[in-house]
Amino acid sequence: MAMQLQFYLLLSAALFCIGIFGLVTSRNAVRVLMSIELLLNAVNINLMGFSNFLDPGAIKGQVFTVFVITVAAAEAAVGLAIILAIYRNRQTIDMEQFNLLKW
Amino acid sequence: MNLAEGVQSVSLIILSAMLIAAALGVVLLSNIVYSAFLLGGVFVCISGIYILLNADFVAAAQILIYVGAINVLILFAIMLVNKTEDFKSIPRRWIRNGSTALVCLGLFALLSTMVLITPWQISTTSPAVIDNTMVALGKHFFSDFLLPFELASILLLIAMIGAIVLARRDFIPDISVKSSELTSTALTLPERPRELTNTGK
């Protein structure tokens, strides 16, 4: 039973690294948002593992997970709206051509 | 959970393998629609992991919010920007991808050594000490997490209004309206939607 917490933490670390790889290398803007969702889910697995193994009496990790899910929903809605607005102006969703904020 | 130890371990291993495979598919597949459906698979696997972690309410919320709302939203966005453009190739792109992969592998090595050498204070009480996690979560929400709970509702309202404002089509005022027409059509909006741009090829 003592090994299980480490297993969950390693799983979430692997998911986090996959998400960062997708976040940096993908060129489709929608795929970048999917990678951000992967990152948030990795953090959620971490919180749930800590909540179950280190603090089973007061499940505060689950409370934090619910808040993270809420913020992720808001982030997805606003992010997809921003992508739609940029697509309407630029006619592309290639991340390499989004140089609006480039100095 | 009242499952046996072996059943839990086997299901955890199967769920983890499916999770990692689906996450790699999300990142690496070239067709974005396949990626979106595999993302739904990732969310379902994570929900199963939550059930293994004695969190039934959060597992149900994960299915409802992620698979039911966020994944559908992403699919709608993919369909709205459905333009199969072949991205211009960039010179020395493989150097960028390779260095990113190296950095990610290094980060994973760092995190895994940190996880494995840290002496975690594993609680000795049984993880299934709470019968009904929904009641415990409700008590937390309305006692010591009341302010973040209320702020979350305000955040959701702000996000909803912001998404509507950002995704709305621009309105261009019609400047050729004479004053006599303006009085006759006083109940209509003095603006008209912009012409649809031709996004086809």
Residue keyed to tokens 């260095």 = B99
The residue of chain B nearest to residue A50, with distances taken between CA atoms, is B122
Q: Is the pLDDT of residue A100 over 80?
A: no
Provide the pLDDT confidence category of residue B176 given band limits of 50, 70 and 90: low
Q: Which amino acid is at B104?
A: C
pLDDT of residue B87: 73
Q: φ and ψ at B130, to 5 degrees?
A: -95, 125
User: In this complex, is the C-beta atom of A90 within 8 Å of any C-beta atom belonging to chain B?
Assistant: no
Provide the pLDDT confidence category of residue B192 given band limits of 50, 70 and 90: low
User: What's the whole-number mean pLDDT along residues A91-96?
Assistant: 82
Helix (H) or strand (E) segment spanning residue B18 = helix B5-28
The residue of chain A nearest to residue B156, with distances taken between CA atoms, is A74
Question: Closest Cα partner for A44 from B124, B24, B55, B38?
Answer: B55
Helix (H/G/I), strand (E/B), else coil: B15: helix
Q: Is the pLDDT of residue B188 over 60?
A: no
Query: Is the CB of A78 less than 8 angstroms away from the CB of B115?
Result: no
pLDDT of residue B92: 80
Extract long-range pairs of B23-32: CB within 8 Å, 24+ residues apart.
Answer: B23/A15, B23/A18, B23/A19, B23/A38, B24/A18, B26/A18, B26/A22, B26/A31, B26/A34, B26/A35, B26/A38, B27/A18, B27/A19, B27/A21, B27/A22, B27/A25, B27/A26, B27/A31, B27/A35, B27/A38, B32/A28, B32/A30, B32/A31, B32/B78
Q: How many CB atoms lie within 10 A of CB B84?
A: 7
Q: How far apart are CA B166 and CA B161, in angstroms?
A: 9
From chain B, the residues in CB contact with A60 under 8 A are: 140
Looking at domain B7-82, does it have CATH number 1.10.3260.10?
no
What is the pTM for the complete model shown?
0.84
From chain B, the residues in CB contact with A57 under 8 A are: 123, 125, 129-130
Q: What is the pLDDT of residues B77-95, one digit of tens each?
A: 999 887 666 777 777 888 9
All structural domains of chain B with their residue ranges: 7-82, 132-173
pLDDT of residue B179: 52
Least confident of A2-6, A64-68, B76-80: A2-6
User: In this complex, is the C-beta atom of A100 within 8 Å of any C-beta atom belonging to chain B?
Assistant: no
| Strand ranges for chain B from DSSP E | 171-173, 191-193
Q: What is the pLDDT of residues B112-133, one digit of tens each?
A: 999 999 888 877 666 566 778 8
pLDDT of residue B187: 54
The counts of H helices and E strands in chain A are 3, 0
Helix (H/G/I), strand (E/B), else coil: A28: strand
Helix (H/G/I), strand (E/B), else coil: B191: strand
Q: What is the pLDDT of residues A26-49, one digit of tens each?
A: 888 999 999 999 999 999 999 999
The distance of B106 to chain A (nearest Cα, Å) reads 9
User: What's the whole-number mean pLDDT along residues B126-146?
Assistant: 83
Query: Is the CB of B137 less than 8 angstroms away from the CB of A49?
Result: no
The distance of B98 to chain A (nearest Cα, Å) reads 10
List beta partners, residue A94.
A28
Helix (H) or strand (E) segment spanning residue B64 = none
